[in-house]
Chains A and B, each alone.
Chain A
Amino acid sequence: EPEVTQTPSHQVTQMGQEVILHCVPISNHLYFYWYRQILGQKVEFLVSFYNNEISEKSEIFDDQFSVERPDGSNFTLKIRSTKLEDSAMYFCASRGQVSSYNSPLHFGNGTRLTVT
C-alpha cells in the first residue's frame, strides 16, 4: 500500500537554526498537510497546501514557517529560526485522488524535531 514518507526520522538542531523537514506524499494525491504533535499532546493542524499554494494555516504557522513543493514529489516544511517550543513530532499527510471528495488523510511516520 502506498505510504507517505518522511525524512529524517529525527532532527536535532540548535535554537535559532533553520531546519527543513522533508515529505514525499502518496503519488497522485493532490492535497498536502503538515501537523505537529508536542510530546504527550494531541495532533495539531499547521498548514494545508493545494494547487501549489497554501489553502489554510493555523495560528501556529507564523512567519517562521514556510512550505514548498519544489518538484513533483517532495513537500517540505521549513522553520526559519527554531525555538525551543518548536520541539515536537511533525507529521506530513496527504489526501485525495482527483475524484475522491471524501478521501481521508494518510499520515507519514513523522519527524521528531528536538531544538536545544
Chain B
Amino acid sequence: GQQLNQNPQSMFIQEGEDVSMNCTSSSIFNTWLWYKQDPGEGPVLLIALYKAGELTSNGRLTAQFGITRKDSFLNISASIPSDVGIYFCAGQLYSGSARQLTFGSGTQLTVLP
C-alpha cells in the first residue's frame, strides 16, 4: 500500500519561532490534507490542498501541494503554546467512491515558553 514519510517526528521550538514539516510519498496523491490532533481527540482538518503547486494559507499556517504530487509541506509562523499537538499529513487518492486517506506518522510539536 501507499506510505507517507513525515518529517520530523518531533520538534521542540521556542514560542514565536516558525515551524516547518513535510511529507513525501513514492506515489502520487490527488489531494493533500493536514490535520492536527490534540490528546484524546480526533484529527481536526487544518488545510486541504487539491491541485499540484497549490499554496494555501489558514491564519498562521501555510501549506503547499508539491508540483510532483508526491509531497507537501506545512509551515507554522510565530508559534504559540496552543500550537502544541501532533500534526498529520494525509494523502487522498481518488479510487471510486472510497477515497480513503493515507496518513503520515505524525510530527509531535512542543512549543516552549
- Using a CB–CB cutoff of 8 Å, the interface residues on chain A facing chain B are 4, 6, 31, 33, 35, 41-45, 48, 50-51, 55-56, 58, 91, 95, 102, 104-110, 112
Say what secondary structure dominates the interface of chain A: strand
- Summed over the interface, the residue pairs from A and B with CB atoms below 8 Å come to a total of 65
Instruction: Decide: A110 and B42 in contact? CB cutoff 8 A.
Output: yes
Pick the contact of B99: A4, A31, A107 (CB < 8 A).
A31
- Using a CB–CB cutoff of 8 Å, the interface residues on chain B facing chain A are 1, 31, 33, 35, 40-45, 48, 50, 88, 90, 92, 95-106
Please judge, given known A-B contacts A43-B103, A104-B33, whether A56 and B98 are in contact too, CB under 8 Å.
yes
Instruction: Decide: A107 and B100 in contact? CB cutoff 8 A.
Output: no
Instruction: Decide: A109 and B98 in contact? CB cutoff 8 A.
Output: no
- Give Cα A41–Cα B33 distance, bound, in whole angstroms: 18
Instruction: Decide: B42 and A48 in contact? CB cutoff 8 A.
Output: no
Pick the contact of B43: A50, A91, A102 (CB < 8 A).
A91
Instruction: Decide: B88 and A42 in contact? CB cutoff 8 A.
Output: yes
Residues of B within 8 A of A95 (CB): 99
Residues of A within 8 A of B95 (CB): 56
Please judge, given known A-B contacts A56-B95, A56-B100, whether A105 and B106 are in contact too, CB under 8 Å.
no
Instruction: Decide: A55 and B97 in contact? CB cutoff 8 A.
Output: yes
Question: How close is B39's CB to chain A, nearest CB, in angstroms?
Answer: 11
